[in-house]
Amino acid sequence: MKLFEYQAKELFGEHGIPIPASTLIGGISELNKAIEEIGLPCVLKAQVLQGGRGKAGLVKLVSTKEEANVEAERILKVTGKKLLVEGAVLFEKEMYLAITVDPISGSALVMACLEGGIEIEEIARTKPDRIIKEKVDTSWGLMPFQASNVMYALGLDKNQAAEGSKILLKLYNLFVKNDTELVEINPLMILKDGTMIAADGKVNIDDNALYKHSRYSMTRDHFKNDMEYEAAQDGIPYIQFDGDIGLMVAGAGLANVVYDLVSYYGGTVANYLEFGGPNYHKAHKCMKMMLDSKPKCILIATFGTIARADVMAQGIVDAVRELKPDIPIVAVIRGTGEEEAQELLKSVGLNPLNDTEEAVKKAVELAGGGSQ
């Protein structure tokens, strides 16, 4: 789960990482009061979960009340979300500082760069050597000497390195305590006097650990569209694309393969949802969502292991009886209990196939696409 910037900064504050003064507002009527509290110049920051707000005009430095009103109104209109009114910072340099999980080494990975700010992706692409990396064995935790190594490798002087190390150690503490997959400060602004202040913040909490962090809950704002939000209420992974074929697939790995096969045979994917694993008894709900999203054709592909194919099939059968879909459905349902599953599907007029590739070809054809 991604936290909003204002939530990330609240955590920074709790962990002793310096942040600018700020006030969160829900609408334009609260702006003048917020400006009185924060003062001018200030920065207006859209509280959306996408990065790159600066480039998209969703972070705006303003120096008068009039300008603030015009810009706040514009940003609120574009996003429809909350707005953070934050004290502007007079900075010398922008540092990028992040900790993430390195899946290959199974360690935490610190990344830092003195050319932070809105062009960090470009730096990562064109000058990757400017990004200093330090692996952290999580059973030991981040050692103070490692934090210093990172700061000196960036070329900071003694005072700045001491300040940067302190902040990095606090950030590591936050990273561990909150079961995060990523914490990022970009920019960590370096001021003339060598002090530093976190002007932006990203914190992603591992969804599997959310039960330990009850202060956070997923809201509609965390999802790109209503369908993804609705699916998440039932714990169903759902991704919206813009093609023709709806994929009801047992799991993420199989979904990747099926997606690639659809593309290979010249078709396009409308959306994808997962009804295997813990969701194998939710076929009915999944089918309803699929039909609501109005693809040209539905492709059901499973390979049941612990998730029994016959239980999934029963859900599909119930859904077909009740919802009477008026679009073609292609099914390839295999794995534990497949004979029974196939019989069940036949009972509602479906003609289950045995081969995934064959099923994909048929779905592409029924959706009116296909090039090979």
Q: How far is the CB of 54 from ligand GDP (least distance, A)?
A: 3
Position 187 contacts ligand GDP (CB under 6 A) = yes
The answer to whether the beta carbons of residues 180 and 174 sit under 8 Å apart is yes
**Residue 269 binds ligand GDP, judged by CB under 6 A:** no
Question: Residue 352 touches which of Mn ion, ligand GDP, none (CB < 5 to 8 A by kind)?
Answer: none
| Residue closer to Mn ion, measured from CB, 187 or 304 | 187
Selecting among 10, 184, 228, 274, the annotated active-site residue is 184
**In this complex, which beta carbon is closest to ligand GDP, that of residue 94 or of residue 310?**
94
Dist CA 332 CA 23 (whole Å): 54
Question: For this structure, is 184 an active site residue?
Answer: yes
Interface region with ligand GDP, contact rule CB under 6 A, candidates 48-56, 131-139, 242-250, 265-273 = 48-56
Going 264 to 265 to 267 to 270, the CA torsion angle's sign is negative
Calpha distance 98→168 (Å, rounded): 9
Q: Which residues contact 38 (CB under 8 A, 6 or more apart)?
A: 21, 22, 23, 85, 86, 87
Binding footprint of Mn ion on the chain (CB under 5 A): 186, 200
Q: Per-residue string for binding with ligand GDP, 3-42, x by CB under 6 A? A: ----------------------------------------
List the catalytic residue out of 5, 71, 96, 163: 96
CB nearer Mn ion, residue 186 or residue 342: 186
Q: Greatest CA separation found in the chain?
A: 76
Q: Which residues inside 92-111 make contact with ligand GDP, applying CB under 6 A?
A: 94
Residue 226 phi/psi, 5° resolution? Answer: -60, -35
- Identify which of residues 117 and 304 has a Cβ nearer to ligand GDP in the complex: 117
Spatial distance between the Cα atoms of 259 and 267, rounded to a whole number of angstroms: 9
**With CB under 6 A as the contact rule, which of the stretches 67-75, 87-95, 212-220, 316-324 interacts with ligand GDP?**
87-95
Q: Tell me: does residue 53 bind ligand GDP (CB under 6 A).
A: yes
CA atoms within 13 A on the CB side of 345: 26
Q: Looking at 16, 27, 39, 52, which residue binds ligand GDP (CB under 6 A)?
A: 52
Q: How far is the CB of 56 from ligand GDP (least distance, A)?
A: 8
Q: Report how far residue 259's alpha carbon sits from residue 273's, in angstroms, rounded to the nearest whole number.
A: 12
Residues contacting ligand GDP: total by CB under 6 A: 17
Q: Are 162 and 182 in contact (CB under 8 A)?
A: no
181 forms part of the interface with ligand GDP (CB under 6 A)? no
Among 17, 43, 341, 364, binds ligand GDP (CB under 6 A): 43
Kindly give the pairing relationship between strand 269-274 and strand 245-249.
parallel
Choice from 1, 49, 61, 176 touching ligand GDP (CB under 6 A): 61
d(CA 157, CA 195): 12
What dihedral do alpha carbons 205, 208, 213, 215 form, nearest 10°? Answer: 80
215 Cβ contact partners less than 8 Å away, ≥ 6 residues apart? none
Nearer to ligand GDP, 64 or 351 (CB): 64
188 three-class SS: strand
Positive or negative, the Cα torsion across 287, 290, 292, 295?
Answer: negative
Point out which span in 46-54, 96-104, 155-163, 327-335 binds ligand GDP (CB under 6 A). 46-54
Whose tokens are 């990273």? That residue is 175
Q: Is 352 among the residues that bind ligand GDP (CB under 6 A)?
A: no
Residues 191-210 that bind ligand GDP (CB under 6 A): 199-200
Distance CA 360, CA 349 (A): 19
Catalytic positions, please? 96, 184
Interacting residues with ligand GDP (CB under 6 A): 43, 45, 51-54, 59, 61, 88-89, 94, 117-118, 186-187, 199-200
